[in-house]
Amino acid sequence: MSRKNNEFYARIWNAVAAIPYGRVASYGQIAELAGIARGARMVGWALGKAPDRMTLPWYRVLNAQGRISIPKGSRVRDEQIRRLTDEGVVVVDGCVDMRRYHWQPDLDELVWGPAAFGDDD
């Protein structure tokens, strides 16, 4: 992996780590928070490359319409639905009501979010 991708991935992982319990964000929103213009696809790639020890809340990331992007019938999709439901997020036919559960970070969250990944990873 290139040094530039490492930097982008660390920024994406930090943004995903900041999504609060019971809230969701879109791939595009995470890319925007990470400072990566038009980087929604890169968010998916970064989540796939995240080391297991990070325990990122990957399941809180959905497409812009609030739909789960993982194909129906897959074990990972079922796991995503289970985890969201465990947090009180209502999932209907693979879709979450973004008006109700969408994370809108305030300035404090953006400035004081979780500890940074990437420095020692």
Backbone dihedral region of 24: left (phi > 0), alpha (psi from -120 to 50 degrees) or beta?
beta
Which pLDDT belongs to residue 107? 79
Residue 28 one-letter amino acid? G
pLDDT tens by residue, 7-19? 899 999 999 999 9
**One-letter amino acid for residue 41 of the chain:** R
Of the chain, the percentage scoring pLDDT greater than 70 comes to 88
Instruction: Give the residue-averaged pLDDT of 88-105.
Output: 96
Residue-level pLDDT at 68: 97
pTM of the model: 0.86
Q: Report, in this order, helix, strand and coil percent for the chain, each rounded to 5.
A: 50, 10, 40
- Segment 30-66, tens digit of pLDDT: 999 999 988 999 999 999 999 888 899 999 999 999 9
Domains of the chain: 3-101 (1.10.10.10)
How high does pLDDT run on average in the chain? 89
